[in-house]
Structure 1
Amino acid sequence: MNIIKAIRGTRDILPEEVSYWQEIETTARNILAQACYQEIRTPVFEQTSLFERGIGTETDVVGKEMYSFVDKGDRPITLRPEGTAGVVRAFIENNLYSSGGVQRLWYSGPMFRYERPQAGRQRQFHQIGLELLGSSDPRADVEAIALAADLLRTLGLSKLQLSLNSVGTGADRSNYRQALVDYLTPYQSELDPDSQTRLLHNPMRILDSKDERTIAIAQNAPKIIDFLSDSSRNHFDQVQQLLSDLGISYQLNHCLVRGLDYYSHTAFEIQSTDLGAQATVCGGGRYDGLVKELGGPDTPAIGWAMGMERLILLLQQQRSASLSQPDFYIVSRGTSAEAKALIIAQKLRHSGFTVDLDLSGSAFSKQFKRANRQGAIACLIMGDSEAATDTVQLKWMKTQIQQTLIIAELLAKTTELTQQLAENRQ
């Protein structure tokens, strides 16, 4: 019989890795809550038109990478390839703008893109992201960037570089477009096939190419910063000054345009030198026209998303994962002993301790070996003699010190146990 395997581009997240996911999610939740961001949860599939209108039909995401299908009601449906469009749709549909002011939202969950799987890039991948809607102030841009930097720093990640650019307004990009086309046209035959097509339809997207020859050509292309209006340039200057005021270092990257059509003004990426080709761990920017494009009121906004898988790759390079270390591992054998061991386990769990109860009924020696593999701090041992006297043997694995305790006494001394666990933690 053939074994059924996970679909290419998806993967199981096994227990030894889950601790990394929980750490990132908990850290993000705490940091964003301190900045008054509220969590929002949107569906994993939406109407296909949401992404076609929001992201842009000329992008690789819409043109090549979306998982789209027609459902039983003959409706075109797409698994979400990114988080912003769904959040904006929810913002409009649920009138979150009605109270005025700023909406600070964050999300996490799976996204789906049909790409060639490799380390740090899967067809089902996961993101944490934030969206700040309702402010055109440069301080909003810098708040978003600073929170991303805070999250990465709190996780202990290093060797990170913030790249920054401005893609201006639609009018700025129209002024820039012709200059870019004029520069690239003589090189058309040297560009990669996708860029040759983009030259006719969306030339700025050529700056986002990963082809080495195209990248080399683009390095000497006109810079959009030279085509910004005074107001766009002033906005970008303020962003740079505020970043400097916060001590956040950055480098200008005039080829940074991001891969989605909804961006305007500030665009940024945070990259790691430890990730090779898939170097970007956080990307985002301002998208002042998206809410209006999707049928809502004219609402400026900025946001970013981080790839969970790439964050975990970096964390794994810095430290090794381990399964959670139980406070107590309960070893028992015999009908009466095993029944009482279950009661002890539940009562200790209710008191806040982490308890692993061996259910094998095997020899004590085998149960002790499993306790060592689990990294248990202490073993509670119960056999027929202990069951008959309502006692239990407490053995500290680090020192091998063992003592006999009355069960009621053990369950009553939670404060002392907590202190002893801390002293014996390996």
Structure 2
Amino acid sequence: MSFQIPRGTQDILPGEVEKWQFIENTARELCNRYQYKEIRTPIFEHTELFSRGVGESTDIVQKEMYTFQDRKGRSITLRPEGTASTVRAFVEKKLYANAAQPTKLYYIGPMFRYERPQTGRYRQFVQFGIEALGSNDPGIDAEVISLAMSLYQTLGLKSLKLVINSLGDAESRKAHREALIAHFEPSIGEFCSDCQNRLQQNPLRILDCKKDREHALMETAPSILDYLNEDSIQYFNKVQTYLSANGIEFEVDARLVRGLDYYNHTAFEIMSNAEGFGAITTLCGGGRYNGLAQEIGGPETPGIGFALSIERLLSALDAEGIELPINSSIDCYVVTMGEEAKDRAVSLLFEMRAAGLLAEKDYENKKLKAQFKAADRHQAKYVAVLGDDELARNVIAVKDMETGNQEEVQINQLIDYLRGRS
């Protein structure tokens, strides 16, 4: 019986996984600069966390979650995103009590959604995200957006478009909600069943509907920007001022929404304009939220964050033809001739690795020529040739694969010799 990988998942093999490692290391280094600390949460949580933390009316909760019962009948869900788990840990572990605030966290890990697989979109995908909890300062909004943009730019992406919007405070959103209901209600029967359910529950999410995006009422829907009160306008202006001061270009799009009730003020998306990237251009989405910590049992805590898919980031790099600077070379490949030399190479290889050198040898009893070919495949900087004759003289022949120069060195001096040339 043969087995195949489940639909919507992928094997990331050597040769490709190095790209993932490079991206993840770049993200970690960037977070360290911005003073975001890593958090690791369980891959599964109690289902209610996501029902409350992501939203009952969202497609994620209604259609996409992997939910099952454990042996004691408890409803468990594989995490579909990272924010709810991060905020749950923030509340449960009382991180809000720390003297230093805001609490700045990041995560990298697999998420799970049952949706139609397509290019750059999988049922198991890896998400990188950050959350800054505990500050109402618009400067932290600009910082979060700047970090996201910096990651993409550091990796070489150029065809980027940043879109921002304000959802206003609670007062502004209430006024906008009433205007949306009045706008859509007379013709709501022309919309999909999801939108009909959303009209009273969460009318803002109608604006995010993919089925009815071409409906004429979408174009004429009331803009949240027309309902912002003075405080919300000042907040949004501050965010824009900070972004401009950082040299970050952006567009304001009043139709960009975040559909959950606890989202407020800043919302943003980063998109790829690269030719051939695909119909779904969004690389990253984020926004400010109040009330999420309170919704899951904690104190009222402001927060802002973003999340991005590593898979879509890789697709964007491919679309722009960007090759990541992956170094697959090794320091030395040991070639042996004769049984005694082969035996000595085992301990020699261990000594080289213990000294921090990247080293390899043949384990298939290949001929001399084939061993040199293997050294080429490993992109070895040096090849150390050890035969029984060299072993008897306690020397080893070292060939520089770039220049072709070769010289003999004492075996016990090989490590220092290679270190001096690395």
TM-score, normalised on structure 2?
A: 0.93
The 5 Å alignment of 1:171-190 reads 171-185=171-185, 188=188, 190=190
Match of 1:143 in 2: 143
Distance in 1 separating the partners of 2:343 and 2:260 = 60
1:406 pairs with one of 405, 410, 415: 410
Aligned residue for 2:104, secondary structure, equals strand
Q: Deviations over 1:50-107 (max 9, x none)?
A: 0111111000010101111110121111111111110111111111111243111111
Aligned residue for 1:114, secondary structure, equals coil
Match of 1:8 in 2: 7
Match of 1:291 in 2: 293
Distance in 2 separating the partners of 1:67 and 1:120 = 20
Aligned residue for 1:340, secondary structure, equals helix
Long gaps (5+) in structure 1: 419-426
Alpha-carbon offset, residue 255 of structure 1: 1.2
The 5 Å alignment of 1:9-28 reads 9-28=8-27
1:319 aligns with 2:318: no
Aligned residue for 1:377, secondary structure, equals strand
The 5 Å alignment of 1:188-337 reads 188=188, 190-211=190-211, 213-214=213-214, 217-258=217-258, 260-274=260-274, 275-316=277-318, 317-319=321-323, 324-337=328-341
Number of aligned residues: 417
Match of 1:423 in 2: none
Alpha-carbon offset, residue 215 of structure 1: 6.7
Distance in 2 separating the partners of 1:140 and 1:93 = 24
Match of 2:60 in 1: 61
Alpha-carbon offset, residue 191 of structure 1: 3.8
Match of 2:43 in 1: 44
Distance in 1 separating the partners of 2:408 and 2:213 = 74
Alpha-carbon offset, residue 209 of structure 1: 2.3
Long gaps (5+) in structure 2: none
Match of 2:34 in 1: 35
Q: Deviations over 1:121-151 (max 9, x none)?
A: 1111111111111101111111111111222
Alpha-carbon offset, residue 414 of structure 1: 4.1
Distance in 2 separating the partners of 1:57 and 1:366 = 62
Match of 1:364 in 2: 368
Q: Deviations over 1:367-409 (max 9, x none)?
A: 2222222222221122222233222221222333222222123
Which shows bigger deviation, 399-408 or 67-76?
399-408
Query: CA 1:257–1:392 in structure 2 vs 1: closer, same or farther (change >3 Å)?
Result: same
Q: Deviations over 1:357-376 (max 9, x none)?
A: 22111111112222222222
Distance in 2 separating the partners of 1:163 and 1:331 = 56
2:350 pairs with one of 331, 342, 346: 346
Distance in 2 separating the partners of 1:87 and 1:365 = 55
Match of 2:382 in 1: 378
Query: CA 1:208–1:276 in structure 2 vs 1: closer, same or farther (change >3 Å)?
Result: same
Alpha-carbon offset, residue 175 of structure 1: 1.6
What is the one-letter code of the residue matched to 1:30? E
Query: CA 1:118–1:216 in structure 2 vs 1: closer, same or farther (change >3 Å)?
Result: farther
What is the one-letter code of the residue matched to 2:405? I
Q: Deviations over 1:257-295 (max 9, x none)?
A: 135554211110111123322322221110111111111
The 5 Å alignment of 1:106-121 reads 106-121=106-121
What is the one-letter code of the residue matched to 1:354? L
What is the one-letter code of the residue matched to 1:51? F
What is the one-letter code of the residue matched to 1:296? G
Distance in 2 separating the partners of 1:215 and 1:385 = 83
Alpha-carbon offset, residue 187 of structure 1: 5.0
Distance in 2 separating the partners of 1:395 and 1:304 = 50
CA contact (8 A) 2:115 2:123 kept: yes
What is the one-letter code of the residue matched to 2:137? D
